[in-house]
Amino acid sequence: MSRAETGHEGDIRLPRTLGFVSTTALVVGSVIGTGVFLKAAVMTQLVGRASLVLCAWVISGIFSFAGAMVYAELGTLFPNAGGEYVYLRASYGDAVAFCYGWMRLLVGSSGIIASLGVGFAIFSSALLSGNTVWLQETFNVFGHQLKWQFGLQQVIAIGIILTVSAVNVLGVAIGGHIQSFLTLLKCLSIVAIVVAVFRYSNAASWSHLALSSSSPSTSSAFATAVLAALWAYNGWNQMPMVAGEVQDPSRNISKALIVGMGIVLVLYLFANLAYFIQLPASQIATSSSTQYPDALPVASRVAFEIAGSAGLKLISVIFIISTLGALHGTILTSARVPFAMARDGLFFPSVGAINGRTRVPLVSIGLQAAWACLLAISGTFDQLTDYVIFTSWIFYGLAGFSIFLLRHKVRAQATAYRTPCYPLFPLTFVVFAIWLLFSTLKTRPVGSLAGVLLTLSGLPVYGYVRRAYARRLRDSALLETSMQADGTILIAKELS
């Protein structure tokens, strides 16, 4: 069992204060960000028809649900802080687990937090109708121009990252309640958009579903659309990272993942159905995307069609709430990975410290926040996050495959939850991960290699912390032996 769960002798342990509602809110809140409001545009550009876009959402949802089912069993089997880090360490050893944790801290978690912070700033600036830029430079790196700027958006991004991190320092119970509230707001917001289209829109028409925006889709275009939807489902793997703080983990972890992903799947399908009923495919295809960067997002166009300028302001508030909920969930869960690594002797010991009053990994939260702020200022998080997509799915696939290894390793620890349709769901997830890796390697060979090198850059750090941990263990053993010897001498003197 991970020391992140049991604690060192005399240590304060992480409290199990997250109930079923808070745990489910973490699943839903970490998954739903801005993808559901934006991705329909690029997906329609690829496949052209509403039926194919909705089909892509369903297929991506099934793959994500299969992964969640596998993680539900793993999280129930190892209800400790760290999530995938714990499963990888139990299955493949310390080096693989460290590389995963290093990638998460260096770019994975911190890059997501930085992008969410900047996204919050962008939506806030749009609502306030202003963005002041104080400094800007253009750099030429390996033949590519990188534009850097520092202004009001960066200040807002840093401010919200630090604020939400500070809220998480107050305690996981408070963080869980806040996450539940934010998740409820974003779910009600999506429901409001759907209801507005079906009940109050004069332009809504089922005939829009039969319209096409482009020529017939190819299989490769449909596969790319599935990938686009998959990014919007990303985040279901984060809740198990706080498994060490979940009440009755043998029941609540699996229930939260199943119920949470079910809620996400239903909301995503109804939201996209509402978009295509309200707007013809041609308008959705020309919404905000890489091809049309100055256009309104799909959800904004729907809101404007129904309520005019008031609808645009309302959808901006919804974007802010959704981004804030995803940011809060990511900060809460991701800080547990470096904490668990430190507790297992795979990272610097101070990162494994627990605050005596609020009982949270204070140093880990602070380290994560500081690095995310630096990435937000640098403006390079998008490139870095793209680099680790490939390596992230290597670890996801390994974690999915670990269920086959761990069922044999820990047969005595049979859990109340078992992955349904075993081995179909695990195999579905692993095969999909392999397909995704080959697709990414084919389309982005340089970025994939860069991601692998970025992940392997942590190996020197791994070597250092392992040697330091071994020295601490030797020193501790020598001290204990010395104390025992002194005690024996003292007792002998007293007896004489």
Among 120, 66, 373, CA closest to 237: 66
Task: Give the pLDDT band of residue 384 (cuts 50, 70, 90).
Answer: low
Task: Give the pLDDT band of residue 111 (cuts 50, 70, 90).
Answer: confident
Q: Could you give the number of structural domains in the chain?
A: 1
Does 187 reside within a domain?
Answer: yes
User: 112 versus 256: which is more confidently predicted?
Assistant: 256
Does 488 reside within a domain?
Answer: no
- Positive or negative, the CA dihedral 6, 7, 12, 17 is negative
Does 107 reside within a domain?
Answer: yes
Q: What is the pLDDT, as a whole number, of residue 262?
A: 94
As given in the structure block, the two tokens for residue 495 are 């007896």
Tens-digit pLDDT profile for residues 442-458: 877 887 888 888 899 99
On whether the CB atoms of residues 61 and 368 are closer than 8 A, the answer is: no
- Positive or negative, the CA dihedral 244, 246, 250, 253 is negative
Neighbours of 446 (CB within 10 A): 8
On whether the CB atoms of residues 116 and 33 are closer than 8 A, the answer is: yes
* Mean pLDDT, range 366-386, rounded to an integer: 80
Residue 114 has pLDDT above 60, yes or no: yes
The mean predicted confidence, pLDDT, of the chain is 85
As given in the structure block, the two tokens for residue 452 are 């692998």
Does 487 reside within a domain?
Answer: no
Tens-digit pLDDT profile for residues 212-233: 877 667 777 888 888 888 888 9
Among 89, 18, 20, CA closest to 332: 18
Look up the CATH number of the domain holding residue 421.
Answer: 1.20.1740.10
Tens-digit pLDDT profile for residues 298-339: 999 999 999 998 998 899 899 999 999 999 999 999 999 999
Does 471 reside within a domain?
Answer: no
Tens-digit pLDDT profile for residues 182-210: 999 999 999 999 999 999 888 889 998 88
Tens-digit pLDDT profile for residues 53-83: 999 999 999 989 989 999 999 998 888 989 9
Report percent pLDDT > 70 for the chain: 87
Any alpha helices (H) in 241-349, and if so which ranges? Answer: 249-278, 281-285, 298-334, 336-343
On whether the CB atoms of residues 317 and 127 are closer than 8 A, the answer is: yes
pTM for this model (two decimals): 0.85
Does 448 reside within a domain?
Answer: yes
Tens-digit pLDDT profile for residues 138-175: 766 545 566 667 778 889 999 999 999 999 999 999 99
User: 385 versus 172: which is more confidently predicted?
Assistant: 172
Q: What is the pLDDT, as a whole number, of residue 5?
A: 47
Name the residue range of residue 398's domain: 3-457
Does 335 reside within a domain?
Answer: yes
Helix (H, G, I), strand (E, B) or coil at 448: helix
Does 9 reside within a domain?
Answer: yes
Produce one character per residue of 385-401: b if its CB has 16 or more CB atoms within 10 Å, e if not. bbbbbbbbbbbbbbbbb
Task: Give the pLDDT band of residue 482 (cuts 50, 70, 90).
Answer: low
User: 138 versus 369: which is more confidently predicted?
Assistant: 369
